[in-house]
Amino acid sequence: MSTLQMPPVNEPDRQYYFIDKARTYVRQLGEALGRTPRACITTFGCQMNSKDSEKLLGVLEEIGYEESSEEMADLVIFNTCTVRENANTRVYGRLGRLKPVKKKNPHMMIGLCGCMMQEELVVNKLKDSYRFVDLIFGTHNVYKLAELLVMRFESKGMIIDIWEDTDKIVEDLPTERKYPFKSGVNIMFGCNNFCTYCIVPYVRGRERSRRPEAILSEIKRLASEGVVEIMLLGQNVNSYGRGLPEEITFAKLLEQIAAIPGIQRIRFMTSHPKDLSDELIEVMAREEKICNHLHLPVQAGSSRVLKKMNRIYTKEGYLTLVKKLREKIPDISLTTDIIVGFPGETEEDFLETLAVVKEVRYDSAFTFLYSKRSNTPAATMTDQVPEDIAKERFDRLLKEVQEIAHERTQRFTGQVLDVLVEEVNQHDPQYLTGRLSNNLLVHFPGSEDLIGQIVPVKLSECKGFYYLGEKLEQGE
Ligand code: SAM
Ligand code: SF4
């Protein structure tokens, strides 16, 4: 065989070689079907997964698929989550429903990727009971989709490619953005924190930061394409830069991003309280482009439980941080994640969580029932909280969180604030829907041509967790 036909060894050249090759197979499939082959990616879980799905779709479009609904698709990919057990249950349910569909459509392919595929038990179950799945890959080799599809087209059998970990970051592959005016940008991958309840470090691997030049050049390109808002993504953005050859902190990276012309709003998630530096708070206070919102997961209000969770901060430390943030950025919107029913949580511990919620007064909070994840230290703790007790606490917490969020949301009534217009309202086409800097939703009458623009809107009526408003005309 001539060496010219061998795939290149280095990335991204290797993937461009397979993208070319896959295009031929997809064209042949199109000829057999008498139409362009269609693909659908369903994303479960967090923004990291949404971002990965954009990369997968970019490759699929490049090789000749067109995006469609799941019902119409010749290739269905589930990009899975496994943070809580119910995420896994949902995937098995959806997969079961696809089996008869695939039986009727012999050309159809089903792919599974993402966090759930990094679990050995899951892959074994799929191998045993879901033989109709064509492609299984994990979180570390998402960039290899074209290569894996070529393998599937050439072998006809189930293709499984799971890596335990990687130190590789492959840049410059195609991606298909969901919105033309806003985009997520990965700044780091993986997590080193090993909170005792959490499966993420096991399925997303060790923390690794992207080089700042790669991040900055991606954002400059996005800005030149009309993106005005970016969301920097990482499991713990505050530890950005560790392990890189250059001296850089997350705060310094933010300053460099804020200097890019065209970018008007910068968001980021998630911030771990243990690494939130004074330098970062200063930059957030100083840089107008950084949104007036911080998602700062507390997880629990009892220092005893926080220690068992391996969160490396205490209740007092967290509250001091909140005080500092509010002093420097007085009207900042704070949101959080809270887990109820962590092993060993007593009524007293839970009351401390409620007290923290009342003291901080979050603008909103994601509340979760603790879910046992295999191989995490918390799963083998002997003092698991009975389900009925956890559920009863969860309901009390949710009520408190919602009452406070409702009160907090109202504080903007009558103000004129900038809204980034995102879409035509899904219920009333006369209305547009957009977001404030603090992430609150606003609906107001307006025409489609405003999508992607930042416009001043008077917030006339608070409807609980969102606003109805009117756009101000020039000179008003
Ligand atoms: N890296 C982020 C951080 O530390 O805040 C969070 C990532 S995780 C995908 C999102 C949230 O899921 C966590 O903040 C936590 O509240 C929740 N979570 C993680 N593991 C969980 C579990 N086993 N049971 C219930 N909730 C869990
Ligand atoms: Fe999970 Fe903790 Fe890492 Fe967040 S910081 S991803 S909760 S281990």
Q: What is the pLDDT of residues 436-467, one digit of tens each?
A: 999 999 999 999 999 999 999 999 999 999 99
- Which two structure tokens, joined as six digits, stand for 144? 């290899």
Q: How many whole angstroms from 234 Cα to the centroid of ligand 1? A: 13
Mean of per-residue pLDDT scores for the chain: 95
| Closest C-alpha to ligand 1, atom 4 | 272
Dihedral sign from CA coordinates of 133, 136, 142, 147: negative
53 within 8 A of 79, measured Cβ to Cβ? yes
Q: How many whole angstroms from 196 Cα to the centroid of ligand 2? A: 9
- Which residues approach ligand 2 with their CB closer than 6 A? 191, 193-195, 198, 200-201, 235-236, 272
Binning pLDDT at 50, 70 and 90, where does residue 169 land?
Answer: confident
Dihedral sign from CA coordinates of 230, 235, 238, 244: negative
User: Residue 3 pLDDT > 60, yes or no?
Assistant: no
User: Residue 97 pLDDT > 60, yes or no?
Assistant: yes
What is the arithmetic mean of pLDDT over 39-45?
Answer: 96
pLDDT per position as a tens digit, 317-337: 999 999 999 999 999 999 999
Please tell me the least confidently modeled range out of 1-15, 228-242, 262-276, 322-336: 1-15
User: Residue 352 pLDDT > 90, yes or no?
Assistant: yes
Binning pLDDT at 50, 70 and 90, where does residue 4 land?
Answer: low
Q: How many whole angstroms from 272 Cα to the centroid of ligand 2? A: 8
| Closest C-alpha to ligand 2, atom 4 | 235
* Ligand 1 pocket, mutate which of 52, 198, 275 (most atoms under 8 A from CB): 198
Closest of 197, 196, 172 to residue 85, by C-alpha? 197
Percent of the chain with pLDDT over 70: 99
Instruction: Give me the pLDDT at residue 414, please.
Output: 97
User: Residue 2 pLDDT > 90, yes or no?
Assistant: no
Closest ligand 2 atom number to CA of residue 194: 8
Q: What is the pTM of this model?
A: 0.94
Q: How many whole angstroms from 373 Cα to the centroid of ligand 1? A: 11
User: Residue 166 pLDDT > 90, yes or no?
Assistant: no
CA distance 398 to 341: 13
* Ligand 2 pocket, mutate which of 235, 236, 269, 275 (most atoms under 8 A from CB): 235
Please give the angle made by the CA atoms of 155, 158 and 164, to the nearest 5 degrees: 115
354 within 8 A of 301, measured Cβ to Cβ? yes
What is the arithmetic mean of pLDDT over 52-57?
Answer: 95
Closest ligand 1 atom number to CA of residue 297: 5
Closest ligand 2 atom number to CA of residue 235: 6
Closest ligand 1 atom number to CA of residue 200: 9
